[in-house]
Amino acid sequence: MTNGEGWVSAGELSRRTIRRADFVSCDQAFIDCRTPGSDRKENYSMIGPGVTQSADQVVNLREAHGFNIGAAAMPNGIVNNLHLHFTAEVFLCFRGEFLLRWGAEGQQGELVLREGDIASIPTWIFRGFTNIGPDDGWLFTVLGHDDTGGIIWGPSVLREAGGHGLHLTADNRLVDTVAGDPMPDPGELVAPMAAEDIAALPSYSAEQLRRRVVTTGDLDWSGHALLGSVLPGGRAELAPVIGFGMTEDRMQEPRIYHPHGHNVAWLRAAPGEGVPAHRHDETQVLLVKDGEWEVTLNRHDEVSVRLGPWDMLSVPRGAWRSVRNVSGDTATLLVVNSGDGRVRVEWDEEVVKAAADAGTGLDHNGYLAPYHLLPRPVGR
């Protein structure tokens, strides 16, 4: 359990730790699961249900975070068919290559996502993707807000699915007549989007969509993004991707600005380095890309967990936490925080004092500054 001061019990830490081995796939999550070329998709829901249309989807942690995290896995050549979202959809390519296409017929443009790329797909446009890499390609997804509203499928997707006995009701319920589900009344089914509504959807060029893809080469890493980075053991680097997030480097800017309901950043550290004790008021998920990380919660009665590649940890609002790379090489993890604004970090008093002794403090706007230039109360 957690209390009002953000204390986390060992049992609560365990509940919030989602190992890669805990991921459970569902191959009946969407209406196109029997469509040839799309029938070997696997859908995962780790944080929240996302947009799954299956009542049998396993969700590792249902607690509301302000965002959802899931994943899609599919062999080479398998297609995720065209659909649109009402809230932000962010792709995190952790392995392989995927061909992204968009437009009502997938004709507006194409881009390739490779390992390490992050893509923010605009709302209210049809999008789909194909695995053009190895069979073990993997896309994590972060969806905006707790209630995503579901998705709208392209008209041709609904028609083809109906030929395989799958239908979708207006309340996002998947009906499988092959498995014996009764056919709902026609008025209960989702109607394909009308041509005039499709024509009114926004259009994006490949150049415009490319500005919403952040590759590893696009990242703006800062070794002075956090107050703790001036201290031994706290020298992690941060690269904001979506939103300003936690950065305390006034010169650092994210590649993607517009509101998502969450922010996303990469964090990397050399062996033994990380982020010292701090807390903030947003929900947070730490998702390991590579290496091994130790996360310690609480200032007193500490509890710790070690996370390996693709493991994730949900840290509740207000909980004290520190993060350290305990592997033998530089390691990387992804940080997702709720909210659209800056995440204002509260540092442990010992961190603040040690940083001041090293000549660095935070100005009244929450950014790193020379300590000797900062105003202080009389007598300090």
Q: What is the pLDDT of residues 44-53, one digit of tens each?
A: 999 999 988 7
Has this prediction a pTM greater than 0.85? yes
d(C-alpha 24, C-alpha 45), whole Å: 8
Predicted pLDDT at 13: 98
Predicted pLDDT at 379: 61
Q: What is the mean pLDDT of residues 353-379?
A: 93
Instruction: Name the DSSP class of 192.
Output: P
Residue 356 burial by Cβ neighbours in a 10 Å radius (0-12, 13-18, 19+): middle
Is the model's pLDDT at 29 over the cut of 50? yes
Is the model's pLDDT at 380 over the cut of 60? no
List of domains in the chain: 31-214 (2.60.120.10), 220-373 (2.60.120.10)
Q: Give tens-digit pLDDT for 153-211.
A: 888 888 888 888 888 888 777 888 888 888 888 888 888 899 999 999 999 999 999 99
Burial 192-227 (b: 16+ CB within 10 A, else e): bbeeeebeebeebeeeebeebbbbeeebbebebbbb
Predicted pLDDT at 1: 41
Within 8 A by CB and 6+ apart from 66, the residues are: 145, 146, 261, 262, 282, 283, 338, 339
Distances from the Cα of 21 to the Cα of 25, 140, 243, 312, angstroms: 11, 15, 30, 11
230 by DSSP, 3-state: which?
Answer: helix
- In the chain, the N- to C-terminal Cα span, in Å, equals 38
Is the model's pLDDT at 19 over the cut of 80? yes
Predicted pLDDT at 59: 96
Residue pointed to by tokens 């605009």: 122
d(C-alpha 124, C-alpha 265), whole Å: 24
